[in-house]
Amino acid sequence: MIESDKSGQGNEPAVHCRGVTRSFGSGEARVMALRGIDLDVRHGELMMLVGPSGCGKTTLISVIAAILDADGGECRVLGEDLGRMRQAAKTAFRRRHIGFVFQSYNLVPALSAAENVAVPLLIRGEREKPAQAAAVRVLEQVGLAERARAMPDQLSGGQQQRVAIARALVHAPDLIVCDEPTSALDHRTGHALMQLMRSIVMENGRSLIIVTHDARIFEFADRIAEMDDGRIVAIGAPEQVHAAVPPAVPVPAPEASRSGGTAA
């Protein structure tokens, strides 16, 4: 197994959260987004995170991805104690080791698809030509080679989503964190993407956390953690948690309604 320098930290899981809390605002407007999260994600594991809107999923993965600071508790990621890191070190750590797919994609409007995907490589100092070439290779993997030069506003929602996924994969991060990565994708494209992500995790011992409402992709998870009101209320294999978690949003893809949920 090929491991980059931050995977394989002995027996320590890739992500180790204990009692993680986070609130927003103050006084009467205070919202407790995370009320004490305990969660481990192993190296080579694909963990899905499900739960109703507003229960804290994005907040939790933002803390794990070192984008947002926790208020309390312990969060160790790839052997680093995030609570003890200075902001500059955190930023460097995030850029090097973590790939993040935002719920809202966050593509840079003035950059083409390939230029967007190349950003993580350019940030870490790679030269433009090889970075662009690498970006196009990942765009190929997500089925977008022919749209590499398109600008974000010339792409469909599902295509923009795949550009965002390619950008999260291009620098081969040890931990990939995705917020609803298949929400704009039809069944077949979503499945192909999950197969790609699954193979990346299995071949390279990386870890993947995917927030999703999409029951059609639950089968790709090693485990599913169910959140409610800032807490993890259940965790287990997909078939255990699957029954407890009906899709929170109606599935929009026409393929899904035709197949009557029998896709497997």
| CA dihedral angle for residue 191, residue 193, residue 196, residue 199, rounded to 10 degrees | -50
Measure the CA–CA gap between 159 and 196, rounded to whole angstroms: 16
Instruction: Show Cβ contacts of residue 123 under 8 Å, excluding neighbours closer than 6 positions.
Output: 95
Site for ligand ATP in 10-29 (CB under 6 A): 24-25
- How many residues lie near Mg ion (CB under 5 A)? 1
Q: Residue from 45, 46, 59, 175 that binds ligand ATP (CB under 6 A)?
A: 59
Encoding tokens for residue 229? 């009101």
* Backbone φ and ψ of 172, nearest 5°: 50, 55
- Residues belonging to the chain: 264
User: Cβ 52 to ligand ATP, closest distance in Å?
Assistant: 7
In the shown chain, the binding pattern of residues 47 to 76 toward Mg ion, with x for contact by CB under 5 A and - for none, equals -----------x------------------
In the shown chain, the binding pattern of residues 204 to 223 toward Mg ion, with x for contact by CB under 5 A and - for none, equals --------------------
Give, in order, the Cα–Cα distances in Å from 119 to each of 5, 135, 172, 180. 22, 9, 13, 21
User: Cβ 230 to ligand ATP, closest distance in Å?
Assistant: 7
User: Cβ 180 to ligand ATP, closest distance in Å?
Assistant: 7
* Backbone φ and ψ of 93, nearest 5°: -60, -45
Closer by beta carbon to ligand ATP, 30 or else 188:
30
Closer by beta carbon to ligand ATP, 56 or else 181:
56
How deeply is 95 buried, as exposed, middle or buried, from its count of CB atoms within 10 A (0-12, 13-18, 19+)?
middle
Binding interface with ligand ATP (CB under 6 A): 24-25, 31, 33, 51, 53-59, 103
Binding interface with Mg ion (CB under 5 A): 58
